[in-house]
Amino acid sequence: MAESLVSTILGQLASLATEEVKLLASADKAVGKLTSNFRAVQAVLEDAESRQMKEKSVGDWLDKLKDVSYDIDDVLDEWITACRKLQMKEAENASKLWKKVCSCISSNCFCCKKVFLRHEIAIKIKDLNERLGDIAKEKDGFNFSLTTGTRQLEHEVTTSLINLREVYGRDQDRNTLKNYLLAESSQESIISTISIIGMGGIGKTTLARLAFNDDEVKTHFDKKIWVCVSDPFDEIRIAKAILESLLGGKKDADELETVLNEIREFIKEKKILLVLDDVWLEDFRKWEQVPIS
């Protein structure tokens, strides 16, 4: 789980480094330091996770890494959101014809807010960099083995099966998701998408399973389909999995166009619930190759 968290954070940092969402004057330096520290711990995570059950101190070290990873994820989200809000405000101000007095007042307020955000986020980033730096230094005392090369993360194939006796405290989340499903799908001729987003290990799949297996949801839809997307992304495999779930048997067709046409024919005038779990792909252009509308 720690390896998944670290990989997620590194992806966010890479995005920050390439996108024009720099709020801090020292953004490049802050991103660079966080990235360097995360890469230092990433290289030993495979050994650390294999030793944590036998060595309590290693388990405690991993817990500290997870805690700071969650905090960093929150701050990076805040950073990106704040930047984009400020960019939108700047664009909005630039597109309007302000009177001279109003323009000065608005500009001054806007600049004050920008300075405050810079200061607030800069303090958080500095604190998190120090915490992560200490964790990165602490790893040297465990004599971890380094991971050689870049290891592909193995993703577990998920299914819709769930043991309700092992799930606690998710009733409110389940009911909220269920209400979305029942309300959105009641609108005819509209394809609705509901996303459950978050870092690895927080229970996204469990929540999807709870809604998928809910009795009201079962009776509301003509057909329910669960597909584990995983990585690497394979358009034909995903489309065939959808079709086989609809038809209840294996399909030999290997042409994406053929499979999609059969899917469209089958779901015509039907109310379908499709769950795509374990989605790692961020390139939305790829999804355009798997249209089922």
Return the domain boundaries, the chain.
2-142, 164-287
Mean pLDDT score, 274-286? 74
Give me 238's structure tokens: 């995903």
* The pLDDT of residue 61: 92
Partnered with residue 225 across adjacent β-strands are 274
Q: Predicted confidence band at 167 (pLDDT cuts at 50, 70, 90)?
A: confident
Over 70: is that where the pLDDT of 125 sits? yes
Residue 228, SS3 per DSSP: strand
* The pLDDT of residue 105: 41
- The fold of the 164-287 domain, in CATH, is Rossmann fold (3.40.50)
State pLDDT tens for residues 10-20: 766 766 655 55
Q: Predicted confidence band at 115 (pLDDT cuts at 50, 70, 90)?
A: low
Mean pLDDT score, 225-236? 84
* The pLDDT of residue 195: 81
Mean pLDDT score, 35-41? 84
Residue 187, SS3 per DSSP: coil
In order, the DSSP letters of 48-91 are HHHHTTT-HHHHHHHHHHHHHHHHHHHHHHHHHHHHHHHHHHHH
Give CA separation, 282 vs 2, 78, 151, 187, 278, in Å.
21, 20, 20, 28, 12
**Closest by CA position to 46, among listed 144, 184, 192, 191:** 144
* The pLDDT of residue 208: 92
State the DSSP code for 223. E
State pLDDT tens for residues 206-224: 899 999 999 999 999 999 9
Give me 60's structure tokens: 């405690």
What gap in Å lies between CA 7 and CA 155, rounded to an integer?
13
What gap in Å lies between CA 25 and CA 6, rounded to an integer?
25
State pLDDT tens for residues 240-267: 899 999 888 777 777 888 888 888 888 8
State pLDDT tens for residues 178-200: 988 888 655 555 677 888 876 56
Over 80: is that where the pLDDT of 23 sits? no
State the DSSP code for 148. P
Mean pLDDT score, 108-137? 75
Give me 105's structure tokens: 């007042």
* The pLDDT of residue 77: 78
* The pLDDT of residue 148: 52
